[in-house]
């Protein structure tokens, strides 16, 4: 399974994303990241996809969709973290994933480790 996570400008949420990335068992990690974000740490499984979050919602969704179709391996399901970012960014990402189409399993990092919440 692949992990898809959104990394927004809200650095206070980055710890949650780092916790998931560093503790999840997955084949690959795809970070969707605002082009204005810099300094988010990655690992050898991570691929960063930059997007322009100043675009309107529909344009942002289409941009993410085009870039994700190139990156996803063809699995039927991805793990998804939306702990970072805004509602507009989350809507664009979720809509793009559903248009790929892939199923979504929301993932979170807790005191117990990585947990799926659906």
Looking at residues 73-84, what average pLDDT do you find?
90
User: What are the beta bridge partners of residue 35?
Assistant: none
pLDDT at 9 over 80: yes
Query: 80: closest CA among 52, 53, 117?
Result: 117
pLDDT band at 75 (very low <50, low <70, confident <90, very high): confident
**Total number of domains constituting the chain:** 1
CATH code of the domain in which 11 resides: 3.40.50
Give residue 79's domain range: 2-116
Peptide bond before residue 34 is cis, with ω within 30 degrees of 0: no
Encode 92-103: b = buried (16+ Cβ within 10 Å), e = exposed: bbbbbbeeeebe
- 39-60 pLDDT per residue, tens: 999 999 999 999 999 999 999 9
Query: CB of 42 within 8 A of CB of 17?
Result: no
- How high is the pLDDT of residue 1? 87
Residue-averaged pLDDT of the chain: 94
Looking at residues 67-80, what average pLDDT do you find?
89
pLDDT at 62 over 90: yes
Q: How far is CA 82 from the centre of its chain?
A: 6
pLDDT at 105 over 80: yes
Q: Could you tell me the pTM of the whole model? A: 0.93
pLDDT band at 94 (very low <50, low <70, confident <90, very high): very high
Residues composing the chain: 118
Under DSSP, is residue 24 helix (H, G, I), strand (E, B) or coil?
A: coil
- How high is the pLDDT of residue 118? 75
């Amino acid at each position: 399974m692949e992990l898809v996570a959104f990394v927004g400008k809200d650095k206070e949420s980055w710890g949650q994303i780092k916790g998931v990335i560093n503790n999840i068992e997955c084949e690959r990690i795809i970070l969707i990241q605002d082009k204005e974000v810099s300094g988010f740490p990655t690992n050898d499984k991570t691929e960063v996809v930059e997007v322009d979050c100043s675009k309107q919602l529909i344009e942002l969704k289409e941009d993410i969709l085009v870039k994700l179709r190139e990156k996803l391996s063809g699995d039927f399901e991805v793990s998804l973290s939306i702990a970072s970012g805004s509602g507009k960014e989350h809507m664009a990402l979720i809509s793009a994933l559903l248009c790929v189409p892939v199923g979504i399993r929301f993932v979170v990092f807790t005191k117990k480790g990585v947990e799926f919440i659906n």
